[in-house]
Chains A and B, each alone.
Chain A
Amino acid sequence: MIDFPIFEQRIHGRRLVYLDSAASAQKPRQVLDALQRFYANDYANIHRGAYDLSLRATDRYEAVRETVREFINAKHADEIVFTKGATESINLVAASWGRTFLKAGDEVLITGLEHHANIVPWQLLKQQTGIELRVVPITPEGEVRIEDVQKQLTPRTKLVAMTQVSNALGTIVPVAEICTRAHKQGALMLIDGCQAISHMPVDVRKLDADFYVFSGHKLYGPTGVGVLYGKRDILRQMPPYQGGGDMIESVSFTETTFREPPHRFEAGTPPIAQVIGLGAAIDYVKSIDMKRIEKQEDELLRYATEKLQTIGSLRIIGNAKQKAGIISFMLDNVHPHDIATILDNQGIAIRAGHHCAQPVMEALGLAATARASFGLYNIKEDIDALAAGLEKVREIFA
């Protein structure tokens, strides 16, 4: 906790209990310092000037590609494309790969757990190309069953796009097994790793993902930067997503030739400092060790689940066997928004609402839930504070 300056303040006179890392994680001093140092010492535009500063900035920026490659165990650094976030990563795949390789009648398969960012780009693609969008339903526990996925896989399935960890319920989806099934059917696999990336070690080669996307800000890095991992052979076949500077070999008014991936997909000046910040964030979580973070957060989740279950009238939403770092819940007769307001008054930040996953809420027959989500800075005392806060909510609404 000492690494995170945000916890030095008091909220409504109380210690800040931040339980909304699934929305965005707080930033360690190491990331803030890296941003400050980069702007103060090494900043210039990249891939441009033949002067020392620009070369230095370029080297620093490209070095983060290698940091990311190693972090997710990609084979080549050129399989790492920097985007402005996971949303842009998915839109990039839908626009570039989707419009090029999919035609009317082809199917994209998603699940009922998806965040809107992994639904809407495919609906747009459907409007543009006439593809079919199919959805694997979730169980009442909030799980995606492999046999339900298998049932929906057809020879027309060209892409399976799904989250590794549900942002609304915390469910861990067996993406590796599903990936194998998808590949058997000749489909590619895109994994939304937004929640998984900060909770567990990720190995894209072990998963055999064709695309893997995540956002920097949920991994203790800056906003405005994300990653699209794509297998080299696939990225090389994909046309540019946006046109502009830095993605071309040469431009004339009659013909333009494009650079190889990843640069082909990074038109314009990229979020240079944010990429440096993302590199610092990855160095930071690696220094702690992702396995240790996973273990610590699992313990916290177990503790929170036990503790919350002792609160009368509290119902945990999403009871998958495998969960990570997120716990959604309801209190009888108290709307999540009222819960959030009263908790906030005690310095406790949680999320109330549909978590940008309205279909999940609909499948479970709910309009909204309250959600507590954990980061590496959370401790058992935070859960105790949450439980005490919820007792206060119950008193007010008694």
Chain B
Amino acid sequence: MTEENLPDDLRELYQDLILDHGKHPRNFRALPEANCEALGHNPFCGDKLTLYLTVNDQGRIEEAAFQGSGCAISTASASMMTEMLKGKSAVEARRLFDYFHALCTDESAADKSALDEEDVARLQALAGVRRFPIRVKCATLPWHTLQAALNPSAVKKVKTE
């Protein structure tokens, strides 16, 4: 990409890591054995994604995957999120979301003290959206969907084996 004549904020938003996850999303598949699932929809732009999680008896996320259609930002955000979620508890996942939300809106409120360094780096890569207020929703859609999926009343599939 010809970066020399791109403004900084646009270059930060569409950096290589984001473009790569946008074009080649990881964990982009249905998860037949998922026991938590939720549909995220942004009616403003038509972005839709289904998030699949398998959560074990200890409440830890063993698998996370998604399917759907969306822009580069929401797809990259979902892709990176599913990578980060593996092994996390609901509380830890929530902490990541809170940090990311703060990064996108009020950076001074962002508290990374309890977070994994690698996760922080990935979320910071996505936080370029803060310069594009209308795109913040694209980046946070997967995370809002995650909240819905982890909400006990939203569990649509329960494994009974």
Chain A residues in the interface with B (C-beta under 8 A): 12, 333-338, 341-342, 345, 352-354, 358, 361, 367-368, 392, 395-398
Contact = CB atoms under 8 A, between A and B. Distances in A.
Contact of B48 (A367, A397, A398): A367
Interface of B: 1-2, 6-7, 9-10, 13-14, 19, 23, 44-48, 69-73, 75, 132, 134-135, 138
B7 A345 contact: yes
Secondary structure at the B interface, as helix, strand, loop or mixed, is: mixed
Contact of A335 (B1, B2, B6, B70): B70
B34 to A, nearest CB: 23
A341 B71 CA distance: 11
A12 B44 CA distance: 24
Contacts of A334: 72
Contact of B72 (A352, A353, A397, A398): A397
Given A337-B138, A338-B73, A396 B46 contact: no
Given A337-B135, A341-B134, A354-B46, 20 more contacts: A335-B70, A335-B71, A335-B75, A336-B45, A337-B45, A337-B47, A337-B71, A337-B138, A338-B71, A338-B73, A341-B10, A342-B14, A345-B7, A352-B45, A353-B45, A368-B46, A395-B1, A396-B19, A397-B14, A398-B1
Nearest to A353: B45
Contacts of A337: 45, 47, 71, 73, 135, 138
8 contacts: A334-B72, A337-B135, A341-B13, A354-B46, A368-B45, A368-B46, A395-B2, A396-B19
Contacts of B23: 333, 397
A353 B10 contact: no
Counting from the closest, the 9 A-B pairs by CB-CB distance are: A335-B71, A367-B46, A337-B71, A368-B46, A338-B72, A338-B71, A345-B10, A354-B46, A396-B1
